[in-house]
Amino acid sequence: MVADDYDVIVVGAGGDGPVAAWKLADAGLSVLVLEAGPFYGNEKWPKPSEEPGGAVSSSVADLSGELLDEQFTTREFEMVNKLLFGPADHERGFWFRKFPGDGAILQCAGVGGTTLHYTGCHPRAYPASIDEQGHWPIDYADLLPYYWEIETMCEVTPAPVTAKEELFFRGAAAAGWPLLHDHNVTEPGYRPQPNAIRQPDPKLHVDAGYDGDFTYPEVQGDTLALGNIAGNPHPRGAPYEEKAKRSSNVSFVPAALATGNVSIRPNAFVTDIRTETPLGDTPSVTGVRFRDTWSGRTERVDAEVVILAAGAIETPRLWLNADLPRNEWVGRGLTIHFGDNVMGLWKADDLEERLGKGTVDQHEGQDIAARFDYPGLGMLQTVGTTPGVGAILGFGASASGFTFQNDPTDAPWDTMGRLAGPELKRLLAGYPRMLQILVVSDDRPHRRNGVTVTPGLADEHGPIPVVNYEPSEGDQKRRDELATIAADILREAGASHVHRSDSPPTALHVHSTMRMGEVLDEACEAHDVDRLFVADHSALSNGVGGANPTNTGQALAARTADKILERYF
Amino acid sequence: MYDEQLRRLNRWIGTVLRGAASALELLADLVSGTEDVELHTVVTFRAIVDAVVPETPELDPELGPAHVPGGLAIGLEDFVVTYVDDGFQFGLPYLGPRGNIPLADPIAQILDIAALTLLDQGDATGELDDDRPVSLLAPGEASPRAVRTAAGPFSKLSRRDRLRAIGLLDELELELSQFEGELFEFDGGLVGQLVVGFTEMIYYSEWQGYDEFTQPPSERVHPNDPAAVQSWRQTGYPGFSDGYAALRGYLGDDDGPLGAGDVWTTIDDDQESPVRIVREPGSFRENDYETSDYEEPFPE
Ligand SMILES: Cc1cc2nc3c(=O)[nH]c(=O)nc-3n(C[C@H](O)[C@H](O)[C@H](O)COP(=O)(O)OP(=O)(O)OC[C@H]3O[C@@H](n4cnc5c(N)ncnc54)[C@H](O)[C@@H]3O)c2cc1C
């Protein structure tokens, strides 16, 4: 059961919430984590999508690798539907959010949050994005000790090379870019991804002639089976904590539960933040109200400190729906790494020459294991996908219509736009010989972009988030420049056909809607509500330069936990 | 007709949002402009699938007969209807099963509006053709006369024009006024996303292999056999695997701590310090960093 009061309540068990929960519980505080989605791989919820199950999990012994293997089937369509932001009950649809154009927001519900989808890429922010762009009230140096802590917990190491990474690296080198060895990146160049995925078993080297099973304990670490977006339970047969991908449910949740001071309550959607104003000025938080997503019943819990970690869309939504002061930046300044896809298709002979085989085989290896950094512009990364996810991320949407409506004669790509019909089928027939590059640009926080709520437009948890996003001219230019570099790298790698999606704004990385420096002070406590902290990606002051954000979000959450201890306990 | 449809659509959405118990009645009212509600939706979703993942005899000479069948050959349109009807919810218990909002009918209506807009703007490349919807049904499934009456303009467009019509919706934030002057922009882009993006994703995913996807997850079975999924035969995707012995090594050169050990291959040998793929990963360097010379490539 959930008790009546705790030292700290954490709202959301996503990428960052469990980090704060672990640190505070490790310091001896009692912590309740309320999570809107289900808890996969936990014996208290043997059928988490079909039955309400238990009430709360407080022991690391509840975690079960076997159940995770069963529930994370690796089948892409099924898993995307399971993980996307919605209630545990499989008979009910996604929670609705409004987003402009045909873009989308990809976020997950469940313990682990969107790191259930994430591909484990764990680079740091570009130092210049924190020290030179003028958005952050703290220095990059303040984050360094926390990066070390997070990288150790998540076991961040250089990602392995399979055929698709070799192809990309050949192209990047031929295009004249240098290899970077650094954690703290200040110059453009390419490097392996710093991934929070255990390195593969050395047995899996192509020269080693391995033909056994890919299950634990025969194989330990990553099995190079792709599938991180679908949840990645590999190696199958491994205990929960020995799964290769260190999503927050695998890296931080076991550590948090092992303190004995943490209770995690899934299927609990927080709908209100409660405050009192004893001195008649700044309100002080006293607890929250949440709704059980199976029964619909609501409950109240009290705490000394409340940490919002519901992600960059739901944290501001919750604030706006609660009766809290309106700061002009609450919900505003959204950055999404305004992205794009540039895809290369090769002829078998050209691949043979470069890779010693006529296929790229993007379904082998880690999803994202090679990257190109360009501080000031953003980054590029190779993406291997299963065909369905590849179709929707790479081909199903475009801001410039269908390919047959565009004439890219003078452009660096051969085709541009959304693909459907014969063009789609022809291109996807080349699936074994193609590789997509994800363009991730360093978009900047603008006040017009963000989350609002409208009273008439509500679901069972109150008015839904209405999201606006309009890139600036600078954002567009940064993205165009990166797309051009991507096309060049693909050509240098020998691609015979290059396709650009010109994606509509699609949010895989969502941040900076409760910015430190605007809504939050330099400890990530709300300026306008005492004892209310934010520890998720909404607290980031900008998009960290376009680098994958989770390392920085988690580092900041770890720092915030230390500040909470300093201020209140 | 156009205004009338918009007006009814508007009322339907307004009612859904308000959670009024009469929403289902209104929905019936909305779609009553066509004689056979079901048939209109069925025909429209077949027209969608037929445009997005069509049968492509033209690919046979180039790629082989496996590349000919499209979504209609595997009943994709049925599942897309189920999926959009079950896919989103506002948590209103009296609106459809489990509070999901049935979206297939309104989407079919919106696509007709888009088709009319395309024609209005003079952007359609061909004429409406009454025989197109008829050809989307198997002989004997419904009488051609009934199909012609039930079918809306969307399904009478050519495949390309159907896609053009869907494309119009991306730009169209249908601004529908609710009661009391509130404005709710029905997001036209969502329609495009559902009927193009999701249709493509479902088609190219493992979906076809299930006996029945709508079963509870713990009861779903999937053969994971590349031969069992038409799109896998078309993409060469081998099905899901527990792993691959595909490791080539780690990247490194002599200038830093990344990569060590035996060289597997060299990827860039015209440099002083060749970049290679080697056996051991090495590690990233905890370097000093200097940012004072940072310049914005594109200042805001
Ligand atoms: C396909 C994909 C791949 C990605 N790959 C990477 C990658 O390789 N590297 C990287 O750095 N980032 C990656 N990301 C992004 C990364 O996953 C997110 O940036 C990160 O998870 C955000 O952490 P968060 O804590 O801010 O929010 P989330 O992880 O989204 O967590 C928020 C949690 O709060 C819960 N919640 C929401 N509202 C409530 C409420 N009212 N009450 C209770 N609980 C609530 C949610 O269910 C969720 O579990 C990827 C994202 C996607 C979609």
Q: Which amino acid is at B89?
A: Q
Residue B190 has what pLDDT? 77
On whether residue B269 sits in a domain, the answer given is: yes
CA–CA separation, A421 and A161 (whole Å) = 34
Contact B204 A391 (CB under 8 A): yes
Ligand 1 lined by A269 (C-beta under 6 Å): yes
Rounded CA separation A445/A448 (Å): 9
Assign B96 a pLDDT band (cuts: 50, 70, 90): very low
Residues B286 and B182 in one domain: no
B267 versus B188: which is more confidently predicted?
Answer: B267
pLDDT category at B178 given cuts 50, 70, 90 is very low
**pLDDT tens string A378-399:** 999 999 999 999 998 888 888 8
pLDDT at A264: 98
The rounded Å distance from CA A524 to ligand 1 centre is 18
**For residues A292 and A266, what is the distance between their CA atoms, to the nearest angstrom?**
9
Asked if B170 and B261 sit in the same domain, the reply is no
Query: For residue B224, is it within any domain?
Result: no
Nearest ligand 1 atom to alpha carbon A12 = 34
**A14 C-alpha to center of ligand 1: Å?**
5
Cα–Cα distance for residue pair B297/A126, rounded to 1 Å: 14
Residue B97 lies in a domain: yes
Give the pLDDT band (50/70/90) at residue B101.
confident
Together in a domain, B173 and B280: no
Statement to judge: residues B250 and B107 lie in one domain = no
Compute the distance between CA of residue A223 and CA of residue A216 in angstroms, rounded to an integer: 10
Q: What is the mean pLDDT of residues B278-287?
A: 98
Ligand 1 site, residue A553, Cβ cutoff 6 A? yes
pLDDT tens-digit series, residues A260-269: 999 999 999 9
pLDDT at A1 (0 to 100): 73
C-alpha A199/C-alpha A193 separation (Å) is 12
- Which ipTM did the prediction report? 0.96
Alpha-carbon gap: B39 to the closest alpha carbon of chain A (Å): 24
Does some domain include residue B9?
A: no
Tokens 């047995």 belong to residue: A203
Q: Tell me whether strands A31-34 and A5-11 are parallel, antiparallel or unpaired.
A: parallel
Query: Is B203's CB within 8 Å of A461's CB?
Result: no
Number of domains, chain B: 2
Nearest CA among A198, A187, A191 for reference residue A154: A198
Amino acid B186: pLDDT: 53
Mark whether B195 and B250 lie in a shared domain. Answer: no
3-class state of residue B276 by DSSP: strand
Q: Quick one: three-class SS letters along A122-148?
A: CCCCCHHHHHCCCCCCCCHHHHHHHHH
Nearest CA to ligand 1 atom 6: A118
Cα(A91)–Cα(A297) distance, rounded to whole angstroms? 19
The dihedrals phi and psi of B173, each to the nearest 5 degrees, come to -90, 100
- CA atoms of B79 and A39, how far apart (whole Å): 28
Handedness of CA B212, B213, B214, B220 (dihedral sign): positive
A224 CB within 8 Å of a chain B CB: yes
User: Has residue B164 been placed in a domain?
Assistant: yes
- Contact yes or no for A404 and B235 at CB 8 A: no
**Structure tokens that stand for B267 in this block:** 């990827």
d(CA A453, CA A317): 7
Cα–Cα distance, A47 to B164 (Å, whole number): 44
| pLDDT(B28) > 50 | no
Q: Are the C-beta atoms of residues B112 and B118 closer than 8 Å to each other?
A: no
Extended strands (E) in chain B: 88-89, 173-177, 183-187, 250-252, 258-268, 275-282
Q: Is B122 exposed, middle or buried (0-12, 13-18, 19+ CB in 10 A)?
A: exposed
Query: Quick check: pTM over 0.90?
Result: yes
pLDDT at residue number B4:
58
Cβ of A470: how many Cβ atoms within 10 Å?
Answer: 12
Does A82 sit within 8 Å of B54, measured CB to CB?
A: no
Confidence bin at B33 (pLDDT 50/70/90): very low
Q: Is the CB of A88 under 6 A from ligand 1?
A: no
Which residues from A are below 8 Å from B234, CB to CB?
425, 428-429
Query: How far from B57 is each of A392, B46, B62, B68, CA to CA, in Å?
Result: 24, 18, 10, 5
Same domain, B265 and B145: no
CA of B161 to the centre of ligand 1 (A): 38
In this structure, how many other beta carbons lie within 10 angstroms of the beta carbon of residue A414? 16
Q: How far is residue A46's CA from residue A48's CA, in Å, rounded to a whole number?
A: 6
Q: In whole angstroms, how far apart are CA A72 and each of A80, A117, A232?
A: 10, 12, 7
CA distances from A281 to A326, A328, A390, A530, A564 (A): 14, 18, 52, 10, 21
Could you tell me if A106 and B255 are in contact, meaning their C-beta atoms sit under 8 angstroms apart? no
Do B68 and B193 lie in one domain? The reply is yes
Task: Find the domain containing B193 and state its range.
Answer: 31-204
Domain boundary among B204, B235, B262: B204
Domain boundary pick from B176, B204, B232: B204
Q: Which domain-ending residue is among B185, B204, B223?
A: B204
**Residue whose C-alpha is closest to residue A396's, from B195, B172, B164, B206:** B195
**Confidence label for B185 from pLDDT (cuts 50, 70 and 90):** very low
Same domain, B169 and B279: no
Q: What is the pLDDT of residues B131-165, one digit of tens each?
A: 999 999 988 889 999 999 999 999 999 999 999 99
Cβ-Cβ contacts under 8 Å for A279 (sequence gap 6 or more):
none
Q: Do the Cβ atoms of A160 and A222 come closer than 8 Å?
A: yes
A469 touches chain B (CB under 8 A): no
Angle at which helices A550-568 and A17-26 cross, to 10°: 40
Q: Is residue B64 part of a domain?
A: yes
* Within-domain flag for B229: no
How does A278-292 read in b/e, with b if 16+ C-beta sit within 10 Å? eeeeebebbbbebbb
Predicted local distance difference test score (pLDDT) of residue B10: 57
Residues of chain A with pLDDT under 50: none
Place of tokens 């289902």: B24
B115 and B171 co-located in one domain: yes
Tokens 């900008």 belong to residue: A542
Same domain, B257 and B198: no
Contact yes or no for A232/A119 (Cβ under 8 A): no
Q: Is the minimum distance from the CB of A318 to ligand 1 under 6 angstroms? A: yes
Q: From CA B170, how far away is CA B172, in angstroms rounded? A: 5
pLDDT given at position B174: 53
Task: Write the DSSP assignment of B114-166 as a string of letters.
Answer: HHHHHHHTT--SS---THHHHHTS-TTSS-HHHHHHH--GGGGS-HHHHHHHH
Residues for chain A: how many in total?
569
Q: Is A201 in the pocket of ligand 1 (CB under 6 A)?
A: no
Q: Locate the ligand 1 atom nearest the alpha carbon of residue A368 and give its number.
A: 8
**Which protein residue's CA is at the shortest distance from atom 47 of ligand 1?**
A109
Any idea what DSSP says for residue A370?
E
Q: Is A194 on the interface with B (CB under 8 A)?
A: yes
**Ligand 1 lined by A37 (C-beta under 6 Å):** yes
Q: Given this model, what pLDDT does residue B90 score?
A: 57
In the stretch 241-300 of chain A, residues with CB closer than 8 A to chain B read none
User: Is A312 within 8 Å of A538 (Cβ atoms)?
Assistant: yes
- Name the residue of chain B whose CA is nearest to A216's CA: B242
pLDDT for the residue A459: 84
- For residue B157, being part of any structural domain is answered with yes
Residue owning tokens 């029964």: A295
CB contact under 8 A, B89 and A396: no
Q: In this structure, how many other beta carbons lie within 10 angstroms of the beta carbon of residue A394?
A: 25
Q: How far from A488 is each of A38, A166, A170, CA to CA, in Å?
A: 43, 16, 12
Instruction: Tell me the three state secondary structure of residue A441.
Output: strand
Per residue, the 3-state secondary structure of A163-227, as one string, reads HHHHHHHHHHHHCCCCECCECCCCCCEEEECEECECCECHHHEHHHCCCCCCCCCCCCCECCECC
For residue A439, give the DSSP letter: E
The DSSP 8-state label assigned to residue A234 in this structure reads: P
Domain match, B158 and B266 both: no
B138 plus B259 within the same structural domain: no
Query: B-chain residues within 8 Å CB-CB of A199?
Result: 281
